[in-house]
Every structure is written in C-alpha cells, then in structure tokens.
Amino acid sequence: MGIGKKTGTVLAALALGLVAAAPAQAGVDGHCGKYLCVMTAHHNRFVQDITVETKDGLPGTLRAYWGDYHSPKAHAASHRWAVGREQKGAKLVCGGLERDGRTIEDGVCVTI
C-alpha cells in the first residue's frame, strides 16, 4: 500500500470519528434563577433528561416540565428525571421549587 493510500485511509477514519463524536445540535444547557437551577441534555427537541437542583443545597419539592411532560414531584435538593422523548413544538424546559407548601420559585427555564 502506497503512502498516498495510507494517508487517505487515515484521513477518512479521522473524519468518520469526528462525525460520530459530535452529532449536530446535541447539547447540555442550563439556567439558574434566584433559588434553583435547571439543566437538560438534549438533541434538537429530543430531551434525554432534566435535572433541577436548589442553589442553597436545602431540600424542597422539585418538579420539571416541558411541553406536555410534567414530572412527578421529588422531595430533594437535587433530582434528575430521565425523559427520553421528543416534542416538536416545545422550546422551553422548566423547573419549580416549593417549600412548606409555598411556591418559592417557578418558571426557571432553559431554551432548547
């Protein structure tokens, strides 16, 4: 095998590796409000998971919502929901925090 053919094979392998490593529009995004942060891993409108956590580390009732997805409430300082679904029209992944039956913060959203 000549040097030109070996170089071409190596370059083709590198190009395939780059394409497989970084799919278009894949990302992890987050946004924080005054009391909580919302983070999501997604590929276009396919949301893989949503994490909501309090900034002060104190527990509360956390929830996440996105399009027609409304998570069950979790009593924790941080919680991750595995969503694994796509919604074409949904553009915001949001979270909320309640403590002692009162809404502390709601509508902290990440644009996807």
Q: What CATH code is carried by the domain that includes residue 36?
A: 2.60.40
Token readout for 102 is 């009162």
Residues 24, 72: Cα–Cα separation, whole Å: 31
Q: With cut-offs at 50, 70 and 90, classify the pLDDT of residue 25.
A: low
Residues 56, 47: Cα–Cα separation, whole Å: 26
Token readout for 5 is 């053919």
Instruction: Give the Cα-Cα-Cα angle 87, 27, 83 (nearest 5 degrees).
Output: 40
17 or 99: which leads in pLDDT: 99
Q: How many domains are there within the chain?
A: 1
Full domain range(s) for residue 51: 25-111
Can you give the pLDDT at residue 32? 98
Residue 25 backbone zone (phi > 0: left; psi -120 to 50: alpha; other: beta): left
pTM over 0.85: no
Can you give the pLDDT at residue 12? 44
